[in-house]
Amino acid sequence: MFRYLILGLLRGGTTHHGYGLVKEYRERSGADVSTGNFYRELQRMVLDGLIRATANPPGSDSRRTPYEITAVGADAFDEWLTAPQAGAAAMSEDEVSARALFAQDVEPTVVLQVLERLQENLWFAGKAMERARHQALTRTAAAEGAARFSCLPLLLSRRMKHVAIDLEFLDELRVAYERWLVAQTPVAVAPPARPRATRRRDLNGTPRRPRRAAS
């Protein structure tokens, strides 16, 4: 995923040197990152044809190499950004945060589609965890007094709570993004209304799936 963060930072067409990319990522995400890992990934991406080094502008520091995204890199980023996530394992907090970082750089229709897909996939992931937890609890009850302790039900509960938090975050992100769109285009038509995710929760903590608007 690290390379897609770099591609996203270059996707707008502006060239950046390595340290500039590190600095922008830190400013956007509020998270730290290893400079060494960043530079190593840049070199691998050059070899893979995703980015390329460009000439330094006159008067710039000759020790710093600026990079720009290639057409192959742009396609790779766009495919990653909009691709559906397969299963609960792919829906980590980092994946959600990484996509949120680039909401300012992507067409609004794409942003809204991505947010909807993330919410849908997370909801299904949460329901799959709920079923797995129920099965684990059933097995644990049947094996009461067994020699080995199983923490699987608790681990699944923990993951379900993470899913619930991510779903709430995505709902808040979408509300904030739609408000920003309205503020940017005060005379334009506001984004279409959508059913808000209900705040009611199942007993396990996972938000219930929002109902779709009637067609």
2-83 folds as Arc Repressor Mutant, subunit A (1.10.10)
Question: Cα 34 vs. chain centroid, distance in angstroms?
Answer: 20
Q: For residue 7, name the pLDDT band (cuts at 50, 70, 90).
A: very high
Tens digit of pLDDT for each residue in 142-174? 766 665 677 778 888 988 998 999 999 999 999
The SS3 call for residue 51 is strand
pLDDT in the model for residue 205 = 52
For 21-40, the DSSP string reads HHHHHHHHHS----HHHHHH
For 30-46, the pLDDT digits (tens) are 677 788 888 899 999 99
Helix, strand or coil, per DSSP, at residue 66: strand
Calculate ∠ Cα 204-209-210, nearest 5°: 140
Q: Which two tokens stand for residue 126?
A: 């949460």
Averaged pLDDT, 175-187: 85
Sequence spans of domains, the chain: 2-83, 94-184
User: What per-residue confidence (pLDDT) applies to 198?
Assistant: 43
Alpha helix (H) ranges present in the chain? 2-10, 18-29, 35-47, 71-82, 93-101, 108-142, 152-184
